Chains A and B, each alone.
Chain A
Amino acid sequence: MDNPILLAVEHLTMRFGGLVAIDDLSLAARQSEITAIIGPNGAGKTTFFNCLTGFYRPTAGHITLTPPEGGSWALHRMQGYRIAKTARVARTFQNIRLFAGMTVLENLLVAQHNRLMRASVWSLAGLLHLPVYRRAEGLAVEKARQWLKRIDLLDAADQPAGALPYGAQRRLEIARAMCSDPVLLCLDEPAAGLNPKESLALNDLLLDIRDNFGIGLLLIEHDMNVVMRISDHVVVLDYGARIADGNPDQVRRDPAVIRAYLGADEDEPLPPEVAADIAAPPC
């Protein structure tokens, strides 16, 4: 039985002047699944994320989010911060964007801004130090503590986020996104710059999020060790268009994908060593 569709992208097009970054792209991502988006450099993966999270306004097409609790959101028509606030789509960035001067704990509390803001009655209850706000703050800290335990940064809670090692910053950014209670989490190259051990830990973290939170994950990644091991579904982009779609095994064997990555011509047969490689099990 398939999981219900969470995100449906239909005929999405994004043009920058004469450049077509995304060309009539349609895809779907399901709840409790990890959908990976791969493709050579410049294929339009990050542009797609920027359209999805409201940093760009798409030239044409629809992006519809159907959260499990019902209703649906037309993301292509929403303002950037509203997509995160109302539709609850969270994202991380290719080049880490933490609040470097603030502590790890503060980073996780900023992610819970909207809930705390309501609890503090737009700062009034907070200024008066009313119990209603203190309780909400306590809950927020507790939630942050849970996440810090999960990403193994509990001891670093009061350190500035910018002082953490690179791998820890990557994990913290994911935890920060998760603290905003998303229904869809978009990860832009979370394994970039990680060593193999950290990369394995990341796999576990992402699988843990998928299995225990029941949310959908969208993953842009170049590291095939990550993509092939944890994805339930892989979409391959090239020149802004979808060229393949399926489970990791299907995609791995797809000649169009190999051509896109290796740059062979459309009608040229695949070189024999590549054909052999395709048949081999994942490394």
Chain B
Amino acid sequence: MTPALRHAVIDAAAAALVAALLALPLLGFRLADSAQGLQLVTRLTWVPIAAGLVFAGRLGLLLAAPLWGRLLRQAPQGDLSVRGTNRRALLIGGALALGALILPLTPFGDRNLLDKATLLLIYVMLGWGLNIVVGLAGLLDLGYVAFYAVGAYSYALLAQHFGLSFWLCLPFAGLLAASFGILLGFPVLRLRGDYLAIVTLGFGEIIRVILLNWASLTGGPNGISGVPRPSFFGLPFVAHTPGNGSFHEVFGLAFSPNHRVTFLYYVILCLALLTNLFSLRIRRLPIGRAWEALREDEIACRSLGINPTTTKLSAFALGAMFAGLAGSFFATRQGFISPESFSFLESAVILAIVVLGGMGSQTGVVLAALLLVGLPEWFRDLQQYRMLAFGCAMVLIMLWRPRGLLAGRQPTIRLGADG
């Protein structure tokens, strides 16, 4: 037995011992519901199985360590500017956009898939919006879901009280969310990093608690139901209207509930692509460069005459605006909103999408959203192990690609070939 092997076996045995100790109360005993009330069931056979699994796993891991180390070393540590990454990201992005565009026409494009894709696209759009704030301007925002909530509630309330249509409310919701972004931005201008994260976290909670407690306006925990569904430029998606004016009647189609699902899918696809185009474009404008410069060095920015106040506020406002747009889409899709949909977990997921995708990378956000939102949706059958797998996946990604899936910043302008 070589010393390395002996060391690995001892290490694995220690791990197995710890696992056995932990497994005894966690797996060994179980409360079962029976006719006589709760009963303690012992499953002591599970304990050695768990310990054995841990032993084998740990041993395997240690023996594979040299290989493992080589793999990690090979992982690109994120060059500052890589042309290859750039082209690959563009290729992946184009393919994804094309796929998304023709998805409803393909045979797999059934209602179930489109529903999931719509949900996914909401997160993609939120990720792109947050990318402006976190990825470009470098302002760590943990309360992003607050602006999403503002957008959702402003559409729901405007539609309920004033009967305004979705398309009319959409810009309103965006503007309202943007003004909330400025409202949050003002007090936190001096803060950076961790401190900023804590204050934005608080802001997100404040909005949620207000929604929960201002029952006369927001309906409190009951939320708002009966939020109007969007219409196809005035043509509703219903089976029958008095004047034969619903979508399928005008276009001479048979009524199908799938029409609305497909329509909603295209609406969010357009909104998300708009967000994407906007951020790609604005990144190459002076304001976008000023955001990145501010992220790198605020003092140098001031010495060059860049106003840090307006620059930061504009990042907050624009990021919030896109969350507001996504929020009002969410409200019209669900038809029902309540504060429960806007918990801190949502902010965390959106931030995780941005970080995992690689800060500032647009295609990275899509891939990360697929991983973080898409996969858990598809693997609902795994039940409680779903979140375990989710956590493992996140840890693995961060080990292999510490700077995100598609790390690497591409310059906004080149001297060689302008544009």
Contact = CB atoms under 8 A, between A and B. Distances in A.
A117 interface: yes
Contact of B289 (A88, A113, A114): A113
Contact of B293 (A102, A105, A133): A102
A158 B415 contact: yes
A106 interface: yes
B270 interface: no
B285 A106 contact: no
B302 A113 contact: no
A113 B418 contact: no
A35 interface: no
A213 to B, nearest CB: 17
Interface string A67-86: 00000000000001110111
A204 to B, nearest CB: 24
B278 A93 contact: no
Interface string A126-154: 11010001000110010011001000001
B415 A53 contact: no
B308 interface: yes
B297 A85 contact: no
B199 interface: no
B304 interface: yes
Contacts of A163: 80
Most buried by A among B285, B305, B416, B418: B305
Given A102-B296, A117-B286, A110 B304 contact: yes
Contacts of B205: none
Interface in A140-182: 141, 144-145, 148, 154, 157-160, 162-163, 176-177, 180
A81 B414 contact: no
Interface string B377-419: 0000000000000000000000000000000010111111010
A250 B418 CA distance: 52
B47 to A, nearest CB: 52
B305 A180 contact: yes
Interface string B298-310: 0111111111100
Interface in A87-103: 88, 90-91, 93, 97-103
A101 B286 contact: no
B290 interface: yes
A51 interface: no
Residue with the highest number of chain B CB atoms closer than 10 Å, among A86, A99, A116, A129: A99
Contacts of A113: 286, 289-290, 293, 304-306
A81 B302 contact: yes
B303 A53 contact: yes
B282 interface: yes
B304 A176 contact: yes
Contacts of B302: 54-55, 80-81, 84
Contacts of A109: 286, 289, 413
B414 A110 contact: no
Interface in B205-257: none
Contact of B415 (A85, A97, A145): A145
A234 interface: no
Nearest to B416: A158
A93 B303 CA distance: 10
B411 A116 contact: no
B269 to A, nearest CB: 21
Report which residue of B300, B303, B409, B418 has the largest number of chain A beta carbons within 10 angstroms of its beta carbon.
Answer: B303
A123 interface: yes
A158 B411 contact: yes
B158 interface: no
A127 B282 contact: yes
- Residue with the highest number of chain A CB atoms closer than 10 Å, among B300, B304, B411, B413: B304
A93 B300 CA distance: 8
Question: Which residue, B287, B300, B409, has most C-beta atoms of chain A within 10 A?
Answer: B300
A257 interface: no
B192 to A, nearest CB: 16
A281 B312 CA distance: 54
A21 interface: no
A251 interface: no
A84 B414 contact: no
B80 A99 contact: no
Interface in B258-316: 278, 281-282, 285-287, 289-290, 292-293, 296-297, 299-308
B42 interface: no
A40 B81 CA distance: 42
A120 interface: yes
Contacts of B297: 97-99
Contacts of A102: 289, 292-293, 296, 411
Contacts of B292: 99, 101-102, 106
Contacts of B81: 103, 158-160
A38 to B, nearest CB: 22
B300 A127 contact: no
A101 B409 CA distance: 8
Given A102-B296, A106-B289, A123-B282, A114 B305 contact: yes
Contacts of A184: none
Which of A103, A133, A138 has the most B CB atoms < 10 Å from its CB?
A103
Contacts of B418: 138, 141
26 contacts: A55-B299, A80-B302, A80-B303, A81-B301, A81-B302, A81-B307, A91-B303, A97-B303, A98-B300, A99-B293, A99-B300, A101-B292, A101-B409, A103-B413, A106-B289, A112-B286, A113-B289, A123-B282, A123-B286, A126-B287, A127-B278, A137-B413, A145-B415, A162-B80, A163-B80, A176-B304
Interface of B: 80-81, 278, 281-282, 285-287, 289-290, 292-293, 296-297, 299-308, 409, 411-416, 418
Given A148-B415, A158-B81, 16 more contacts: A80-B302, A81-B305, A81-B306, A85-B306, A85-B307, A86-B305, A101-B296, A113-B289, A117-B287, A126-B281, A126-B286, A129-B281, A141-B413, A158-B411, A159-B81, A177-B304
- A-B CB proximity, top 9 nearest: A85-B305, A84-B305, A157-B415, A116-B286, A97-B300, A126-B285, A99-B296, A160-B80, A110-B293
